[in-house]
Amino acid sequence: MTVSSMFGSGGSTVGSATIQAPSPGIGETVPYAGGIASSKDQLSGTRKKLIRRSGRDSSQQIRLAVQAFFLVLNLWIGLQFYFFVRWAESGGITPAVPRPAGVEGWLPIEGLMQFKYVVASGALPRLHPAAFFLFTAFALSSLVFRKSFCGWLCPVGTVSEYLWKLGGRIFGRNFRLPPWLDYPLRSLKYLLLSFFVYAVAMMSAAAIADFVASPYGLVVDVRMLNFFRFMGSTTAIVLAALALAALLVRNFWCRYLCPYGALMGLISMFSPFRISRNESACIDCAKCAKACPSVLPVDKLIQIRSAECIGCLECVAVCPAQDALSLNMVGSTGARHRVSAWQLAAGMAIIFFGFVGSAKLTGHWQTQLPQQVVLQLVPAAGEQQHPMTTERTGEER
Ligand code: SF4
Ligand code: SF4
């Protein structure tokens, strides 16, 4: 094996050299010849000692289980919602299927609007309240546990991740865009986010309530489903191009285009936890940087402050050195302030099920609409006009 073969995008530039893989016992100290010596070590001529991690890291198995749970949950919600729409389109002839309120998790802009409504009015929304509870639960998860919504819960993030991993197998590697293209593309998601945040900030609580209660607002979820059900050739080509890009480039959608992820990333910058590297235990092997889905130079930093860190713990999982890398309380590297994958998963579960459970218990989960209204609006979802367009047309008249 050559040293250069060990380094990915985040690694340092080193020449090619043959190394011998160390084969120590657990906890045994060995000179590590496989990494890059830090500049300090190079100057002093010393070589860092590798103290191998004791115990097995199961963070990625735990994360996979959480991702699989949320993927299946979302598929279930999607299927149920599809059959609800089909029931309404049949005029209520086929067996009734209730509308799953969880579909509102797929309406992030409405979630943002409902959040603004609650903050501005001090009241919980009567229509589409689940959008508020889900948005707040995901934002709180990101506030506490980095952008963990993207790395653990979001089904689009999960599909993205397994697409680039598949692409890595097919093409033997993932491609990295050059910095002159990477930086401007990364700002795209913030531009999209600014547009939505500005639009929502400009709306009063009354305007938000009017929008949600309008025929258009009541069927935004159906319109979203129909967008995929009856997609035109342009949409199909765009989706195919995105899927191809997802195969080639790590987290293409999340990294460059997702405004929801951009918002979660900005919120995560206030998280009390960060990936921290203990320089004295680190052997500078750069495995963490190579594994990072967000292409962060983990091996060069002491703490990861970046809004791109999705709290996936992949870097921690691959690190061979004892206590070199962990998710820690800001400013601490001690074991007492460390967060394990179990704790992270349990924390997110408490937040998610806490919000969903309290919404259900207090009767703020389902939107109650008369059946006649549903049977009228859903089949005609495509004909509903955006309230702003209607207002403008009215003004022109
Ligand atoms: S720094 Fe670590 S936790 Fe953050 S995205 Fe990269 S691999 Fe995941
Ligand atoms: S933190 Fe771990 S994986 Fe990263 S360079 Fe140091 S020893 Fe290697």
For a mutational test of ligand 1's pocket, the pick from 303, 310, 313, 340, i.e. the residue with the most ligand atoms closer than 8 A to its C-beta, is 310
Rounded Cα–Cα distance for residues 163 and 245 (Å) = 9
Report the C-alpha gap between 275 and 317 in whole angstroms: 12
Q: Which ligand is nearest to the CA of 9?
A: 1
Least confident residue range of 58-62, 92-96, 137-141, 386-390: 386-390
**Tens-digit pLDDT profile for residues 203-243:** 999 999 999 999 999 999 999 999 999 999 999 999 999 99
Q: What integer pLDDT is reported at residue 308 of this predicted model?
A: 94
Atom of ligand 2 at shortest range from CA of 325? 1
**Whole-number percent of the chain with pLDDT over 70:** 84
Rounded Cα–Cα distance for residues 359 and 304 (Å): 34
Phi and psi at residue 117, in whole multiples of 5°? Answer: -60, -45
Record the tokens describing residue 391, joined without a space.
């207002």
Query: pLDDT confidence of 382, banded at 50, 70, 90?
Result: confident
Ligand 1 neighbours by CB, cut-off 6 Å: 275, 291-294, 296, 298, 304, 309-315
φ, ψ dihedrals at 126, nearest 5°:
-90, -35
Between the alpha carbon of residue 262 and those of residues 90, 144, 151, 225, 257, the distances in Å are: 39, 16, 13, 24, 8
Average pLDDT over residues 348-362: 97
Residue 178: what pLDDT? 92
Q: What is the pLDDT of residue 344?
A: 96
State the ligand closest to the CA atom of 32.
2
pLDDT tens per residue across span 266-298: 999 999 999 999 999 999 999 999 999 999 999
316 in helix, strand or coil? helix
Q: Of the ligands numbered here, which is closest to the C-alpha atom of 300? A: 2
Amino acid found at 168: G
Measured between alpha carbons, how far is residue 60 from residues 48, 57, 305 in Å?
A: 27, 8, 22
Token couple for 68? 């699989």
Q: Which residue in this structure is represented by tokens 């506030």?
A: 143
For residue 50, report the distance from its CA to the centre of ligand 2, in Å.
10
pTM for this predicted structure: 0.84
Q: Which tens digits make up the pLDDT trace of 20-71?
A: 333 333 333 333 434 444 444 444 445 678 778 877 889 999 999 999 999 9
Per-residue pLDDT of 232-256, as tens digits, reads 999 999 999 999 999 999 999 999 9
Percent of the chain with pLDDT over 90: 76
Q: From the CA of 325, how far away is ligand 2's center (Å)?
A: 7
